[in-house]
Each structure stands twice: as C-alpha cells, then as structure tokens.
Amino acid sequence: MGFQKLFFLFLFFLFVGLSSSSPSYIKDDVFEARIQTGRALLQQQGNCPIDFERENYTIITSQCKGPNYNSTICCNAFKQLACKHAKELNNVQNGCAVTMFNYINLYGKYPPGLFSNMCKEDKEGLDCKNVIQPQVKNEEKKSNSTRGNQSSTILMVITTLLMIIMMLSI
C-alpha cells in the first residue's frame, strides 16, 4: 500500500514538473501575419520592402551611447544595421531610408541628424566593405531558455526525490 502511494506521488510531481516547464518549441501561428497597430504607421511611408519595425536596433543602441557620441563607434554600428539593406536604402522612391531613420530615432532617442552629420566617408556615401562586426562572447551565444528548461526539470526531480525520502522515513 505504501509503495502505491509513493508511486502516485512520484507521478503527480513528475506531471506537475513537466507541465510547468517552458515549451521548447514555437507554435506555427507565431509566423502568421497579424494586423499591427501603433508604431506600424511609420512602416507605411512609401513601398519599402523591408520591415524596419522588426529590425534589431540594439546593434546601434548598445554601441552608440551619448551624450558624447563617438563617431567611429556610432558610424560602425550604423553601418552594421544599414549596409545589409544598402540597395533598398539607396532607392529614394521607396521611403526605406526615412522609415529606418524614424525607427533609429524612436528606439535610440538620438539627436536629429546625428548619423547624417557624423557618418561621412566620401562622395559616394558610406563604404559597406569595411564594416567591423562586434565580437560576441561565448556566454552570450548560448541560449538562456534551454538552461531554464533544464534547471526547472532538475528542480522538480530533486523535489520529487526529497518527497520520496521523507515519505520513506515516516
């Protein structure tokens, strides 16, 4: 009789542990298009094929910090973001450049004209061949979500084992 209670107790904690851990997959509906509100109005200036609303602006905001903006650091950070879209940004008809600068200023709260005044290389514009990519530490490359899943599962197993030991000692 004691073994049967112990077995059901173990199963209970096992199911609770598995149900409380974070999922290790992404649902398909995450990738479906949704109607955007709010700042999505910035995206509708022209026919820009790039969704600048979803661009990662931490490339710039993590490196280019004020109040004394370093032109070398800020311009390189700007080029890391902009050079991958150089063809679209150079087309003045599609509004991509305006949209991108609106989002840069929205997320970075930079003074107006900061990048256009600081980042000048030659009459052709910015040279995208000499973009220096930031070095990423090995710790930053690892995903914290997998660590969280592992630690919650381990915690549940330890809790279950402690409960079993306590039940046996009674």
pLDDT tens-place values along the chain, 170 residues long:
577 777 777 767 666 665 554 443 323 332 333 344 455 554 455 688 888 888 999 999 999 998 889 989 998 998 898 888 888 888 878 888 888 888 998 889 998 888 888 888 777 777 787 777 766 554 444 444 455 556 677 777 787 887 788 778 76
Q: Is residue 13 within 8 Å of residue 163, measured between CB atoms?
A: yes
Residue 125: what pLDDT? 75
Residue 46: what pLDDT? 65
Please tell me the distance from the alpha carbon of residue 95 to that of residue 45, in angstroms, as a whole number: 6
What's the token pair of residue 168? Answer: 């046996």
Indicate if the alpha-carbon torsion angle 74, 77, 81, 82 is positive or negative.
positive
Residue 20: what pLDDT? 53
Q: Which of 75, 74, 162, 55 is nearest to 127 (CA)?
A: 75
Residue 62: what pLDDT? 93
DSSP state of 130: G
